Amino acid sequence: MSGGMKVGAVIITMGNRPDELRALLDSVAKQDGDPVEVVVVGNGSPVPEVPEGVRTVELPENLGIPGGRNVGIEAFGPGGRDVDILLFLDDDGLLAGHDTAELCRQAFAADPALGIISFRIADPDTGVTQRRHVPRLRASDPMRSSRVTTFLGGANAVRTKVFAEVGGLPDEFFYAHEETDLAWRALDAGWMIDYRSDMVLYHPTTAPSRHAVYHRMVARNRVWLARRNLPALLVPVYLGAWMLLTLLRRPSRPALKAWFGGFREGWATPCGPRRPMRWRTVWRLTRLGRPPVI
């Protein structure tokens, strides 16, 4: 059923979690079916010792999450064309089952329109999936698989034809919202995205705000995301809705100051090429449960 689809995996690391990285690589090596070819990208740091057969790329500087993953994609040929599917996995994650790669092969082979699969992230100790890790508005039941409009950056699989058609992740984002930028471009090109609760990546429960640049990057990249991808009429609606949501969440004064600084930066700095999605894509996102105004 999987049609012999070749699977690769891209893992970026800062070199500071060697034990977790080794456990992840072991879980990839145990996948059913043909072996998964792995590339580990040291994002501005040396790569810890890895098993034989795992390729490594060491970058002289930290290019950010999208930049590092794009380097990993190109390690499989232009646009990743040497394989049919690429897994993107956080270096402190762990594939819960041996069948994840084969389930991906089967899903992509069965549905030619399927471009991206978002895995379920679960805490390794409790099995709990955080609400923010379910990429849809109706997130109360993480065990329900569905079509979605975005995906989780460190726990997903992408058909490499998507990169060939719409390009890679936006390097300039560095951190935050790069997945949604790719997702919107893929959806505008006619691809679909699935959230699959049966494809699980174990990952310790963390808060995104642990990153020092979180509030600034989230705000700046939200503006860039809208400027790059939305029809002009929807840009102020989308950004106004997110500003209201941010205020309702009552962040601390320093966090709010960083957020508004990032928001201003998003308007004052280049965001990359603007390719607004078609209105039929807006309607498609709406039918999928998440209109691009929130």
Give just the sign of the alpha carbon dihedral 228, 232, 233, 237.
positive
Percent of the chain whose predicted confidence (pLDDT) is above 90: 95
For residue 205, what pLDDT band results from cuts at 50, 70 and 90? confident
SS3 labels along the chain = CCCCCCEEEEEEECCCCHHHHHHHHHHHHCCCCCCCEEEEEECCCCCCCCCCCCEEEECCCCCHHHHHHHHHHHCCCHHHCCCCEEEEECCCCEECCCCHHHHHHHHHHHCCCEEEEEEEEECCCCCCCCHHHCCCCCCCCCCCCEEECCCCCCEEEEEHHHHHHHCCCCHHHCCCCHHHHHHHHHHHCCCEEEEEEEEEEECCCCCHHHCCCHHHHHHHHHHHHHHHHCCHHHHHHHHHHHHHHHHHCCCCHHHHHHHHHHHHHHHHCCCCCCCCCCHHHHHHHHHCCCCCCC
Q: Is the pLDDT of residue 211 over 60?
A: no
Mean pLDDT for all residues in the chain: 96
Write out pLDDT tens, residues 123-164: 999 999 999 999 999 999 999 999 999 999 999 999 999 999
**82-91, 92-101, 167-176, 202-211: least confident range:** 202-211
Q: What pLDDT score does 209 carry? A: 58
Q: What pLDDT score does 213 carry? A: 84
Write out pLDDT tens, residues 30-44: 999 999 999 999 999
Cα within 13 Å of Cα(185), Cβ side: 20
Which residues have a Cβ under 8 Å from the Cβ of 35 and sit 6 or more positions away?
Answer: 29
Percent of the chain whose predicted confidence (pLDDT) is above 70: 98
> Can you tell me the mean pLDDT for 222-251?
97
